Structure 1
Amino acid sequence: MVERRWHALWGEWILVSASRMARPFLPPKEKCPLCPGVLEIPEEYDLAVFENRFPGLSSAPDRPQPSPHPFYKTAPSHGVCEVVMYTSEHDTSLAEMPVDDIYRLMHVWVDRYKEISSRPEIECVYIFENKGEEVGVTLHHPHSQIYAFPFIPPRLQTELNNARESSKQGKCLFCSIVEAEKQDGRRILAETERFIAYLPYFARWSYEVHIAARHGTATMADFDDATSRELAQVLKLVICKFDNLFETSFPYMMVMHQLAEPDWHFHIEFYPPYRDKGKLKYVAGVESGAGNFVVDSYPEMRATQLQEIPPFQVEPVTIQMNMVERRS
């Protein structure tokens, strides 16, 4: 049973899914439901996509019970929840996958985006990965998720509103951010023809990294093969720098912001929970209650750390990559 309840104070929908309480919680490898032979996955695979067994949205939701008071609004939780398994190998991660494998994963994300976004009830296809117990994962097996909403989620709606306001002034908001980052230069990790990776001037997390499309690509539906391969390489670079930073499998939340809107640019945001080695950033009273992040360090300092991480070795590719080192 899934349903939506309207938050009258915040003006946004809350997704209610009581079945998620039954999710497996950090099972051992031999009982991992994403490994071959444990549940419905009979054999090894390279990539696989399944409907989420414990969804927050459903393609055929039940009609919710009437609200207890006319003031409160409720609605069916129409949508899609899918799980994208990167590999049948349990003990690996995106950082350990070859660029070619990440490139193939990009094609799966693109294909799923195109198919799901074509459904008339879907307003936003949201692809994300939660990695590490520090961010609350319940399964260690490498995977991402797709939530397709019948509305634009609040964070993306705010970004869209600001982009539209900027457009009214004759400026592209996303272009302005990239131009400002390039002019400053201190927070850039890498640049390619189509993408730029940087720690934003306004970072809320100590090691927050954004990967932004540079030429107005709004969604993955606009990707060609060269774009997918280029993004695969930049993803590999960023995630390997994370792992090399503290010489550990670095936890993060990776989210893809894409909307089929004329004022929009595709971008990825990483929210790593560490503020320093062995020190977690908690979303506590000010962040949760007031909605204002208090960040514990300057992004310029953290960018310098990540820039100094030695470049990793990748397969020979034709993309010209500008690996940014520390700048004075």
Structure 2
Amino acid sequence: MPHLDSQSLGAGVVKRATRLADGRELIYFDDRDTTLPAERAIDARTLDARPETATMRLDVLTGDWITVAASRQNRVMLPGADLDPLAPQTPTNPSEIPSRYDVAVFENRSAAFGPALAAAMDAAPAAPDPPRGLDDLAALGLGRTRTSVGRCEVVCFSPESTGSFGTQSVVRARTVIEAWADRTAALSALPGIEQVFPFENRGEAIGVTLPHPHGQIYAYPYVTPRTQRMLDSIAATGPDMLARMLEFERASERVILAGEHWTAFVPFAARWPLEVHMMPHRHVADFTETSDAERDELAGLYLRLLRGVDALYETPTPYIAAWHQAPVRVGRDTTRLRLELTSPRRAADKLKFLAGSEAAMWAWTAEIPPEASAARLRAAVEGVPL
């Protein structure tokens, strides 16, 4: 087993980088109290060539870019634990990760974006028709296409085959946060990347295809439509809009929990039956700008929030945990890091489905008042120890 070059990060986390058999990058992040050796196994699989980079098509009605990634049609769907592709490799399971790990991050083989531009990584093929900057992407026209350059990474929270972020220890949560910051910095530096988005999908009702505790990171070649809408609102209302919003929410009855550096709350105009936002008290554009103290506190607060969400019902709640970050090149002085956690679960045995008005016209109706949702969540979180 080779000894990988290592790099010490915050909170005692150690980073070790290598590559998989087809050239994709694999990075181990070791807990501060890890029992793992420095040596890691080589990926000795024989793999097919990586799929061609997907194509983006412009929807001239909205200005949105739609990725067409046919290779994702063949991705693994709910395998048994004995064939878990995110577990460490065994003689009977040729998974994606050769060695046992604490936290592991690797390039997704079934990617909606990427590989990244050839200049960024010697294992990536050249993109035949990449975006030519934000002005190029903003231009409207029929039949416009571009190569869907970028990067999609899988973040494995644990070598175990079941669980979620909320089932991890505080030490492990801190390691994942360090990995998010490290990968945000690395992906933001790649040519053509405009925004980096860490997230976790949890539960089959959300569309999860692997029960293994994991999240993902998307590095987009454009500023996402959701972020662009927010930038437009900031431009119309003032550069301190998010700071004023946080002050407004912190003074409300919708606060779920708060620490020295972070506050979690149900937003004033929540769309989903279960919706919680969490924001840092000071302006930080993304995870790279958070301090050690902010990361330390976040590890515990985030776990309490997720465990409180699961305490609402007898079975785990499906959710999307979306970490919105400022774009790489625009809006960094006005747009701050924040979590938006949403779930369609409106009762123990009921889900909210997007019907005609919401799905077709983006005109939402909320069935549960945000204040009532906040009261239930606050009680649940208060009863959850770490």
TM-score by length of structure 1 reads: 0.89
Q: 1:52 is matched with which residue: 101, 105, 108?
A: 108
Change (3 A) 1:277 1:118: same
Q: Aligned residues, how many?
A: 305
Identify the match of residue 177 of structure 2 among 92, 106, 112. Answer: 106
Q: Check the 8 A contact 2:234/2:334 in 1, yes or no.
A: yes
Q: Which residue of 2 aligns with 1:320?
A: none
- Regions of 4+ moved over 4 Å: none
Paired residue for 1:174?
242
User: 1:156 matched to which residue of 2?
Assistant: 227
Higher relative contact order (CA 8 A, sep 6+): 1
2:80 corresponds to 1:15 = no
Q: Is the 8 A contact 1:61 1:77 kept in 2?
A: no
For normalisation by structure 2, the TM-score amounts to 0.76
Query: Is the contact between residue 107 and residue 152 of structure 2 (CA under 8 Å) also seen in structure 1?
Result: yes
1:226 is paired with a residue whose SS is helix
Q: Which runs of 5+ in 1 are unaligned?
A: 65-69, 315-328
Contact 2:274 2:342 (C-alpha < 8 Å) held by counterparts: yes
- The counterpart of 1:3, out of the listed 36, 42, 55, is 55
Give the equivalent residue in structure 1 for 2:15: none
Q: Which residue of 2 aligns with 1:204?
A: 271
Deviation at 1:183, TM superposition (A): 2.1
Q: Deviations over 1:224-270 (max 9, x none)?
A: 21111111112111100011110322210011111151111110101
The Cα of 1:120 is off from its aligned counterpart by 3.3
TM-aligned CA deviation for residue 182 of structure 1: 2.0
Q: Please, what is the CA RMSD of the aligned residues? A: 1.5
Q: How does 1:1-328 map to 2 (within 5 A)?
A: 1=52, 2-37=54-89, 38=93, 39-58=95-114, 59=116, 60=125, 62-63=127-128, 71-167=142-238, 172-184=240-252, 186-259=253-326, 260=328, 261-309=332-380, 310-314=382-386
Q: Work out whether residues 164 and 263 of structure 1, in 8 Å CA contact, stay in contact via their aligned partners in 2.
A: no
136-145 or 28-37, larger mean C-alpha shift: 28-37
Q: Which runs of 5+ in 2 are unaligned?
A: 1-51, 117-124, 130-140
Offset at 1:277?
1.4
Are the counterparts in 2 of residues 123 and 151 from structure 1 also a CA contact under 8 Å? yes
The 3-state SS of whatever aligns with 1:208 is: strand
How far apart, CA to CA, are the structure 2 residues paired with 1:157 and 1:33? 35
Inter-partner Cα distance in structure 1 for 2:344 and 2:186? 32
CA offset digits 1:284-326 (Å, max 9, x no partner): 2211100122211101111111111243222xxxxxxxxxxxx
Tell me, in whole angstroms, the C-alpha distance in 2 between the residues paired with 1:229 and 1:273: 30
Query: Which residue number corresponds to residue 49 of structure 2?
Result: none
